[in-house]
Amino acid sequence: MQNSIQRISSNWTLGLKVFLPTFWFVFYGAIVLAFFVAPNGQLQVFGQANLKIAMLIFYLSGSIVIYFTLIPLKRVEFDDHFLYVSNFFTTIRIPWHNIKHLRDRKLLFLHIGTFTFKSPTRFGKQVTFIESRSLIKEFHLRAEDLLRE
């Protein structure tokens, strides 16, 4: 068996976890803020109360969705001894014997994986990640052997 570290999370993870939320909170938040602080006479669009409320509700609901779906995503790698989980600032390693199970599900065009652990880790009792379609098949084959050991 190999002992090199292999990534199983998708390359999309960085963009969806870091860049998309940053763009949403900063740029779209600035647009929504402009709707509320711009003088009413500046543009007729800024004076419409219904549009302001609709933009605020859209921003808040999008922020909630991003907070609960994209922010928790992690980068996941593995070798023969450990599962490596990173939030792009901190990386932890989790021994194979602490892994309870892996659940796969499909969400639109993404494949979402969730590791559940027997005991809590620094990132909690579960870790969610976007699976790389090409790398996850090999992982499942190796994981069966590694979890049996």
Instruction: Summarize pLDDT for 50-74 with one digit per residue, the tens.
Output: 888 889 999 999 999 999 999 999 9
**Angle value at C-alpha 133, between 80 and 113, nearest 5 degrees:** 70
Asked whether the predicted pLDDT for residue 87 surpasses 50, the reply is yes
DSSP letter for 15, please.
I
- Check if the beta carbon of residue 11 is closer than 8 Å to that of residue 132: yes
How many other C-beta atoms lie within 10 A of the C-beta of residue 101?
A: 10
Which of 78, 84, 94 lies closest to 4, judged by CA? 78
Q: Is 18 or 107 the better-scoring residue by pLDDT?
A: 18
N-to-C CA span, the chain: 13
Q: Please report the pLDDT score of residue 1 as a whole number.
A: 45
Q: What is the per-residue pLDDT across 4-43, written as a single tens digit (0 to 9) for each?
A: 888 889 988 999 999 999 999 999 999 889 888 877 665 5
Cα–Cα distance for residue pair 21/63, rounded to 1 Å: 8
Q: Please report the pLDDT score of residue 40 as a whole number.
A: 64
Average pLDDT, the chain: 85
- Check if the beta carbon of residue 76 is closer than 8 Å to that of residue 115: yes
Q: Please report the pLDDT score of residue 105 as a whole number.
A: 87
Q: Please report the pLDDT score of residue 147 as a whole number.
A: 61
Mean pLDDT confidence for 99-124:
88
Query: Which amino acid, 54?
Result: A
Q: Please report the pLDDT score of residue 108 as a whole number.
A: 81
What secondary structure does DSSP assign to 46-84, as a single string?
A: GG-HHHHHHHHHHHHHHHHHHHHHTTTB-EEEE-SSEEE
Joined tokens for residue 143: 């994981």
Q: Please report the pLDDT score of residue 17 as a whole number.
A: 93
Asked whether the predicted pLDDT for residue 141 surpasses 60, the reply is yes
